[in-house]
Amino acid sequence: MTRFAGFVIRHSALTIALLLGVTIVFAASLCVRGIGFNGSLETLAQGGADLDFYKETQRSFGDDRVIIAALTTTDVFTSSFIAKLDRLTRKLAALKGVADAQSLTSVKAIRSEPGRLSVGTLLPPGASDAELAVLKPAVTGDLLYAKHYVSVDGRTAAINVFVEPLGEAEVRFLAGQVEQAVKAEAGGDEVFVTGVPVLDARGIRGMMRDMLVCSPAAALLCFLVFLAAFRRLAYAALAMGALTAGLVWIIGLMSLLGRPITIATLSLPTVLIAVGGSYIFHVLNQHRLSTAGSADPKTAWLSGLKFIGPAVLVSGLTVIAGFLAVASSAIPAARDMGVFNGAGVLVMLFLTLTLVPAVLSRMKPGRSTANQDYARWLNNVLRNVTALVLYRRRRAWWFSIALTGALMAGLFYLKVKTDYLAIFPKKSETVQDAIKLHERLAGASTIEVILSGGNGAAYNPGFLRAASELEKHARRQNGVDAAISIAGIVARINGLLPSNGGRQEIPEQPERVKAIFNDFISQDDLVSRLVSSDYSRAVIALRTNLFDSDEVRKLTGSIDEWARTNLPPGVSARVTGPVVLLNNASEAVARSQASSLAIALITIYIMIAILFRSFVVGLLALIPNLLPIAGYFGFLGWAGIPLDITTSLIASAALGLAVDNAVHMIRRYRQSVGETGDQGWVMWLTMIRTGKPMVLANAMLIAAFMIFMLSSFVPVRLGGLLWAVTILACLLSNLIVLPLLMKSRAFNPGPEPAHTTRIES
């Protein structure tokens, strides 16, 4: 560190020029390539065989992303409304990126006519009000159409818009076009639009809004904290310049790598502003202490940088270790969050130890630094904390242990759960539209059961009967609003054939099944989505309002159990769909939580032990930070907050931030031991020199995370609150529990050289 610090100070102009040059390159790249956004459910899904199977299913049966546009009126079955519905269906079908649009006016129906079966539209073109009134009971009572295209009460009609395989930006644009077209055509009818593409599009709009609100708010907050703490505009401007450069670097890197912003990485700019700001705060505080009253500020600053540099370096590396532990997750979004937050902290750390010191070396000491204290209101607080540590040790220990134990009891109530719809506020248009769809038609959440039986299995009556029975079982499960499969359609057509006497059942002869496929089903592209091109697999499509992983787990478990018990030999069933992937990701969260924490703990412990050259110090430094982390999981249990993809990311990353405080505290304590043998004075020097910037830096962190309360997304809001509470708990633990531990012999192997010339009072 000594040589590195010397190079930065001696070649400050070159250092500044090189770093500005790199920043300009990243900024130019960002302007040219831009940064993408991805609100897809797949970003929250676990990678591996389940995701591969889902994608392969999409390739075989078509993209399952459907935009559902619904209109509620007095009576769907009137000629004026049907004309409007037909006009809107054609308009949506003509949009670029739409594979097909199906409604009551376009869906096919097979009718029995004298001597033959005919295929035509469900509603005859130009039907009168009287004719439609006659058709109404039959259509609203038919499982093939009720809840899929029309409500049971006949007041709501839906248009199912099937989306072609498109990129994120194209889907978002198409979803906006559909919403605009439906609202323009609705007239006085109530409109609601939902479906996974719409949820994705609204999610992305929310992300963009959050980026434009939260990040500038965090930057302004940090600027004001720096200005209020040091009362030097130059310090505040330098801090914001370094933070801005760091954001340009990391977001530019994401752009170059083609990695979009997701719900997990949405907080990246605000997190980096807060974390980077805390490092810069310690460096600026050290510059203030080192150059105060010095005749040779540059030499004094070099000495100060040599002291603070290793502490900042190890502090940053511990935070990086915390984030990289999250990167071990099997969930792509969590990996991106860990990797890019870790890379971002590395960038901020590098700029804190290069750009900031280089600029400071060319800056004249402020007039107020020589004889004027800052944040005086903290002096009394820290004095009381010092007295508590010195004279009320037992009380402090008992209180800390009792509080942690009480919180940890909440672990018995901790649940693992993910709810995708809960990402959006309950009163938001997204949630309300999903509720209306569930109440009036069928839920927007699609779950697919894939039956496999070998080439040509769909021609086998036994295969189709198994599919029919499984469909009936699925319909009986809680949360399933509607279901459709190829088996039901084959049975319907067979019942219309004159030779079958109207009995809607699967034919006994494979030849008859094959004839039904060739003569009727193959003519309808929509129906053919329910069976693979080689007829080896069939889909049972379930429409549900299930977004909660616990509810999805119950449904899929029931289907899997029925399939194992009742399917004939050679036939297998596998459940898939976006919410199923989320359910699997929820379980992966629980499995990976312990490993992520273990990786973070071991890595951080090794780095602290190396810095202080003591395995005992490394262990003791972790204790005051493990107590709040353990309490964090207990708090989740007591508060009824589930451990999900968002809340699981906090513990490992927060551990790194918490150890940041411990490193600075221990380092300053050891330095103060070399200045005086009075234990009370040593503790006071540590508190006033490091405790004060530590409190201010953590206050800045807490306030920055509280800005997430402005987010459009419930998990981001909750995550910000949990971050803030956890950081506060870690700060208090490092101000009270750590000093209690520092009185042990392990923390006093000998004095470190002093690099400051002034003692705060």
The answer to whether residues 199 and 443 touch, using CB atoms and an 8 Å cutoff, is: no
pLDDT in tens, 489-507: 888 888 877 776 667 788 8
The answer to whether residues 163 and 99 touch, using CB atoms and an 8 Å cutoff, is: yes
- Residue 756: the pLDDT is 39
Question: CB burial class (10 A; 0-12, 13-18, 19+) of residue 753?
Answer: exposed
Question: What's the chain's average pLDDT?
Answer: 84
- Residue 16: the pLDDT is 94
Identity of the highest mean pLDDT range in 187-196, 271-280, 555-564, 625-634 = 555-564
Arithmetic mean of pLDDT, 447-452: 92
Which single residue is written with the structure tokens 């006085």?
188
CB atoms under 10 Å from CB of 199, counted, come to 27
CATH of 66-194, one of 3.30.70, 3.30.1490, 1.10.3470, 1.20.1070: 3.30.70
Question: CB burial class (10 A; 0-12, 13-18, 19+) of residue 186?
Answer: middle
Arithmetic mean of pLDDT, 231-255: 93
More confident call, 677 vs 148: 148
- pLDDT > 70? residue 590: no
- pLDDT > 50? residue 757: no
- Residue 754: the pLDDT is 44
Arithmetic mean of pLDDT, 209-222: 87
Task: Name the nearest CA neighbour of 416 among 295, 585, 211, 236.
Answer: 585
The answer to whether residues 299 and 570 touch, using CB atoms and an 8 Å cutoff, is: no
More confident call, 26 vs 418: 26
In this structure, what token pair is assigned to residue 116?
Answer: 């033959």
Identify the band that residue 328 occupies on the pLDDT scale cut at 50, 70 and 90: confident
Share of the chain above pLDDT 90, in %: 24
Which single residue is written with the structure tokens 């079955």?
77
Identity of the highest mean pLDDT range in 118-132, 308-322, 444-458, 561-575 = 561-575
Alpha-helical (H) ranges within 231-296 are 233-257, 268-291
Strand order across the 572-576 sheet: 480-485, 537-544, 445-452, 572-576
More confident call, 600 vs 64: 600
The answer to whether residues 333 and 262 touch, using CB atoms and an 8 Å cutoff, is: yes
- Cα four-point dihedral sign 510, 568, 493, 538: negative
d(CA 702, CA 725): 8
Task: Report the SS3 class of residue 684.
Answer: helix
- pLDDT > 80? residue 482: yes
- Residue 41: the pLDDT is 61
- Residue 560: the pLDDT is 94
Does an H or E element contain 446, and which? Answer: strand 445-452
- Residue 589: the pLDDT is 67
Domain topology for 2-35+201-365+375-421+583-747: Multidrug efflux transporter AcrB transmembrane fold (1.20.1640)
SS3 assignment for 84-122? HHHHHHHHHHCCCCEEEEECCCCCEEEEEECCEEEEEEC
Question: CB burial class (10 A; 0-12, 13-18, 19+) of residue 52?
Answer: exposed
pLDDT in tens, 672-712: 876 666 778 888 888 888 888 888 888 888 888 888 888 88
Residue ranges of the domains in the chain?
2-35+201-365+375-421+583-747, 66-194, 445-544
The answer to whether residues 659 and 608 touch, using CB atoms and an 8 Å cutoff, is: yes
pLDDT in tens, 365-384: 655 444 456 667 788 888 88
d(CA 434, CA 78): 26
Model pTM score: 0.76
- Residue 178: the pLDDT is 92
- Residue 758: the pLDDT is 37
In this structure, what token pair is assigned to residue 752?
Answer: 């470190």
Is the backbone of residue 147 left (phi > 0), alpha (psi -120 to 50) or beta? left
- Contact residues for 296 (Cβ-Cβ < 8 A; gap 6+): none
